[in-house]
Amino acid sequence: MNTEQKDKFISFVILLISVSLVIYGIGLAGFENPLTGSSFLKSLLNLSNQYFDFILIGYVFICLQIAGYYELKYHKDYLTMSIISILLTPLSLLFIRSSDPDSK
Protein backbone atom coordinates (compact mmCIF):
# COMPACT_ATOMS: atom_id res chain seq x y z
CA MET A 1 0.00 0.00 0.00
CA ASN A 2 1.65 3.24 -1.12
CA THR A 3 1.38 6.62 0.58
CA GLU A 4 -1.45 7.89 -1.60
CA GLN A 5 -3.60 4.84 -0.89
CA LYS A 6 -2.89 5.14 2.84
CA ASP A 7 -3.91 8.81 2.76
CA LYS A 8 -7.13 8.00 0.93
CA PHE A 9 -7.92 5.20 3.38
CA ILE A 10 -7.27 7.40 6.42
CA SER A 11 -9.37 10.20 4.89
CA PHE A 12 -12.21 7.77 4.24
CA VAL A 13 -12.09 6.44 7.80
CA ILE A 14 -12.12 9.95 9.27
CA LEU A 15 -15.02 10.91 6.98
CA LEU A 16 -16.94 7.79 7.98
CA ILE A 17 -16.40 8.49 11.68
CA SER A 18 -17.46 12.13 11.25
CA VAL A 19 -20.64 11.26 9.36
CA SER A 20 -21.58 8.58 11.88
CA LEU A 21 -21.07 11.01 14.79
CA VAL A 22 -23.24 13.64 13.10
CA ILE A 23 -26.00 11.11 12.42
CA TYR A 24 -25.77 9.84 16.01
CA GLY A 25 -25.98 13.40 17.36
CA ILE A 26 -29.00 14.20 15.24
CA GLY A 27 -30.66 11.01 16.44
CA LEU A 28 -30.10 11.94 20.08
CA ALA A 29 -31.32 15.51 19.64
CA GLY A 30 -34.99 14.52 19.45
CA PHE A 31 -36.07 17.12 16.95
CA GLU A 32 -39.76 17.86 16.68
CA ASN A 33 -41.51 19.80 13.98
CA PRO A 34 -42.86 22.98 15.62
CA LEU A 35 -44.80 23.86 12.47
CA THR A 36 -46.94 20.78 12.00
CA GLY A 37 -49.55 21.24 9.35
CA SER A 38 -47.71 24.10 7.64
CA SER A 39 -46.61 24.18 4.03
CA PHE A 40 -43.07 23.58 2.82
CA LEU A 41 -42.67 27.24 1.89
CA LYS A 42 -43.70 28.37 5.36
CA SER A 43 -41.22 25.93 6.94
CA LEU A 44 -38.47 27.16 4.60
CA LEU A 45 -39.17 30.79 5.44
CA ASN A 46 -39.14 29.95 9.14
CA LEU A 47 -35.74 28.26 8.79
CA SER A 48 -34.31 31.18 6.85
CA ASN A 49 -35.59 33.66 9.45
CA GLN A 50 -34.30 31.75 12.45
CA TYR A 51 -30.99 30.47 11.05
CA PHE A 52 -29.95 33.20 8.63
CA ASP A 53 -26.54 33.59 10.29
CA PHE A 54 -25.70 29.90 9.80
CA ILE A 55 -26.85 30.06 6.19
CA LEU A 56 -24.66 33.12 5.58
CA ILE A 57 -21.62 31.52 7.25
CA GLY A 58 -22.10 28.36 5.17
CA TYR A 59 -22.42 30.38 1.97
CA VAL A 60 -19.20 32.32 2.62
CA PHE A 61 -17.36 29.10 3.55
CA ILE A 62 -18.44 27.40 0.32
CA CYS A 63 -17.47 30.48 -1.71
CA LEU A 64 -14.00 30.56 -0.17
CA GLN A 65 -13.51 26.83 -0.80
CA ILE A 66 -14.46 27.24 -4.46
CA ALA A 67 -12.13 30.26 -4.77
CA GLY A 68 -9.29 28.15 -3.36
CA TYR A 69 -10.01 25.44 -5.91
CA TYR A 70 -9.87 27.98 -8.73
CA GLU A 71 -6.62 29.37 -7.36
CA LEU A 72 -4.99 25.95 -7.45
CA LYS A 73 -6.44 24.72 -10.73
CA TYR A 74 -6.42 27.87 -12.89
CA HIS A 75 -3.61 29.84 -11.15
CA LYS A 76 -5.83 32.83 -10.43
CA ASP A 77 -5.57 35.33 -7.59
CA TYR A 78 -7.32 33.97 -4.47
CA LEU A 79 -8.47 37.36 -3.18
CA THR A 80 -10.04 38.31 -6.51
CA MET A 81 -11.69 34.91 -6.90
CA SER A 82 -13.09 35.00 -3.37
CA ILE A 83 -14.56 38.49 -3.81
CA ILE A 84 -16.08 37.51 -7.16
CA SER A 85 -17.56 34.32 -5.76
CA ILE A 86 -19.03 36.00 -2.66
CA LEU A 87 -20.51 38.97 -4.50
CA LEU A 88 -21.55 37.33 -7.77
CA THR A 89 -22.21 33.76 -6.54
CA PRO A 90 -19.84 30.84 -7.09
CA LEU A 91 -21.49 30.08 -10.43
CA SER A 92 -19.86 33.21 -11.87
CA LEU A 93 -16.48 31.49 -11.55
CA LEU A 94 -17.52 29.01 -14.22
CA PHE A 95 -17.02 31.77 -16.77
CA ILE A 96 -13.46 32.45 -15.64
CA ARG A 97 -11.02 30.15 -17.35
CA SER A 98 -7.30 30.16 -17.81
CA SER A 99 -6.09 32.18 -20.79
CA ASP A 100 -3.18 29.79 -21.41
CA PRO A 101 -3.94 27.18 -24.07
CA ASP A 102 -1.51 24.76 -22.37
CA SER A 103 -3.35 24.61 -19.04
CA LYS A 104 -6.44 22.47 -18.54
Map out the domains of the chain as residue ranges: 1-31, 38-104
* Contact residues for 68 (Cβ-Cβ < 8 A; gap 6+): 78
Angle formed by the axes of helices 52-74 and 40-50, nearest 10°:
80
User: Model-level pTM?
Assistant: 0.58
* Contact residues for 90 (Cβ-Cβ < 8 A; gap 6+): 62, 63, 66
The overall average pLDDT reported for the chain is 83
Q: Which residue has the higher pLDDT, 53 or 34?
A: 53
Going by pLDDT thresholds of 50, 70 and 90, the confidence category of residue 34 is low
Structure letter (DSSP) for residue 69: H
Q: Write the pLDDT tens digit of every residue in 54-87.
A: 999 999 999 899 888 888 888 888 888 888 888 8
Nearest CA among 63, 54, 59 for reference residue 82: 63
